[in-house]
Amino acid sequence: MAFVTWLRRHLVVIAGLLTLGYLLLPNIVVTVFSFNRPKGRFNYEWQEFSTDAWKDPCGVSGMCGSLSLSLQIAFWATLGATALGTAIAFALVRYRFRARGAVNSLIFLPMAMPEVVMAASLLTLFLNMGAQLGFWTILVAHIMFCLSFVVTAVKARVMSMDPKLEQAAQDLYAGPFQTFVRVTLPIAAPGIAAGALLAFALSFDDFIITNFNAGSTVTFPMFVWGSAQRGTPVQINVIGTAMFLVAVLSVLASMVIGNRRTKHKA
Amino acid sequence: MSTLTEAPPPLAPETPTKKPPRRRGRLVPYWLLLPGILWLLVFFALPMIYQASTSVQTGSLEEGYKVTWHFATYWDALSEYWPQFLRSVAYAAAATVLCLLLGYPLAYLIAFRAGRWRNLIMILVIAPFFTSFLIRTLAWKTILADGGPVVGALNTLHVLDVTSWLGWTSGDRVLATPLAVVCGLTYNFLPFMILPLYSSLERIDGRLHEAAGDLYARPATVFRKVTFPLSMPGVVSGTLLTFIPAAGDYVNADLLGSTDTRMVGNVIQGQFLRVLDYPTAAALSFILMAAILVMVTVYIRRSGTEDLV
């Protein structure tokens, strides 16, 4: 009976941890199989332990090239989407103007549209324009779908900002430019950073829209997709594991630094 | 991600702008908006118009296409591919329900029970986002492999007998069956459910639970009458963020399914990139878009949180 009572009290915790396990199970498998030495072309069955793939992560032709291409695209897409999106967010929160409703729905629609629909329509446009599919069409598409996410992230932050802080800055004789750089921007920074991070992750990982608009250019997700058909090298698991570790460690590091800062201030 | 939940209460944005803008000109907002909005108009709205016109064209790749207002394409596409449409809706709905059932306890755990573990669990929920989702989806091939431990366990428990009878799996395998596709969809979009749920749960004042308890509500009643209704915004936006991308997805159906589990996304992709039948592909994606818009509108009306989106 004691067990049943215990179970009932901790039901939520147990169910929650099981879900967490479900979420992390593929990552565990990816990590374990990065140490596999597969027999055939496919890395789906465990054969024997080996660190070969970790010693030679770029040993597969084309993979690291696609990885660096994806990083470049994600970098420029983040830059573009963050700049355009932050401007829109400020305009939406700080000003009242005509066509606000229309602008709001134009921002919302790309997030509520299945990716495949956007991907297909963009391809129709590019085909009609006779555009050469490749780096630039991918970049244009990525900026387009990251934009809305940046706007929402920045908007949330700017909205919770106290306008009195800016008024105070002006009372202290700060000019408009100074106010913006010294007061507005630092307060909005976490929102902008969140939007940029989201844009980077979305762009780096996007497959569906890229698949339609890449032509013969191969980004990292497209390389993985191709390898699922032709045979998956172990190095893919190495990259997957490394990305997971980098993500966890960088978030942990930023938290530690953040904690230290708040302590210093206090 | 948490985007839909961040939506403002409708009147909030007006407050800071009540005072006439100081120092800044009247055109400033338009200059701020111009580049971004132009980008969206040219690369989001204009393509939709192009696609609309493509869907009513006839012709062939060699001779070129002409707009002939051939609406029959829609009818033909629908009558040929209605099973794939039906499947997309069914799989996406199943995945959404599963995400809600699986995601709620975890969101609740992070919001109310995790204590000092909260940040760590949060990181573990978000970090998989940074590992390519294709790599993680491929890992499900290993997990659900024929004769693997998962399939073995399900077999011993006679779960597969039941699911096979229901038509969700076939024989003693899970890969290449609807169950595998739904499992993959659930997995892929689970964080999109957890994050909005968490952000709406986190806003609930813990004292409300105590108050309900003081009024002799049992834990189940507290959940039913207080917690769940207050988390409705999260439930609604989580459902949308899961259902919409799941209905248009073709990666899971391709990697984990078979030709019998093709969804409408697979058809659109095939028509566009392999068959090169652009009018049919355009018509199909318009039908998908319309179907989703209708369902979303009905759903938002029903759940009574119109100001959410």
Size of interface A-B (CB pairs under 8 A): 276
The pLDDT of residue B10 is above 60: no
- Residue B303 is predicted with a pLDDT of 75
Instruction: Say yes or no for a CB contact (<8 Å) between B121 and A20.
Output: yes
Looking at chain A, which residue has its C-alpha nearest residue B248?
Answer: A114
- Residue A112 is predicted with a pLDDT of 83
Which of B1, B2, B135 best tests the A interface by mutation, with the highest count of A CBs <10 A? Answer: B135
Q: How far apart are CA B126 and CA A194, in angstroms?
A: 13
- DSSP for chain B? -TTGGGPPPTTTTHHHHSSPPSSS-TTHHHHHHHHHHHHHIIIIIHHHHHHHHHHTEEEETTTEEEE---THHHHHHHHHHHHHHHHHHHHHHHHHHHHHHHHHHHHHIIIII-GGGHHHHHHHHHGGGGS-HHHHHHHHHHHT-TTSHHHHHHHHTTHHHHHHHHTSSBTTB-TTSHHHHHHHHHHHHHHHHHHHHHHHHHTS-HHHHHHHHHTT--HHHHIIIIIHHHTHHHHHHHHHHHHHHHHH--HHHHHH--GGG--HHHHHHHIIIII--HHHHHHHHHHHHHHHHHHHHHHHHHHT-GGG-
List all residues of chain B from 266 to 285 with a beta carbon under 8 Å from chain A: 268-269, 272-273, 278, 281-282, 285
Q: How many residues does chain A have?
A: 266
More confident residue, B4 or B193: B193
What would the mean pLDDT of B241-270 be, rounded to a whole number?
93
Per-residue pLDDT reduced to its tens digit, B178-188 = 999 999 999 99
Looking at chain A, which residue has its C-alpha nearest residue B245?
Answer: A114
Instruction: Say yes or no for a CB contact (<8 Å) between A23 and B187.
Output: yes
Q: What is the pTM of this model?
A: 0.87
Per-residue pLDDT reduced to its tens digit, B83-111 = 999 999 999 999 999 999 999 999 999 99
- Percentage of chain B modeled with pLDDT above 90: 44
The pLDDT of residue B150 is above 50: yes
The pLDDT of residue B50 is above 70: yes
The pLDDT of residue B24 is above 60: no
Confidence category of residue B306, pLDDT binned at 50, 70, 90 = very low
- Residue B305 is predicted with a pLDDT of 54
Does the predicted interface ipTM exceed a cut of 0.95? no
Local mean pLDDT, 10-residue blocks, chain A (266 residues): 82 93 94 88 82 86 92 97 95 85 88 91 91 95 96 89 84 85 88 92 94 93 91 90 91 81 63
Q: Mean pLDDT score of chain B, rounded to an integer?
A: 85
Per-residue pLDDT reduced to its tens digit, B55-85 = 888 877 667 777 778 888 899 899 999 999 9
- Residue A8 is predicted with a pLDDT of 81
User: 3-state DSSP call for residue A36?
Assistant: strand
- Residue A265 is predicted with a pLDDT of 55
DSSP state, residue A159: H
Confidence category of residue B8, pLDDT binned at 50, 70, 90 = very low
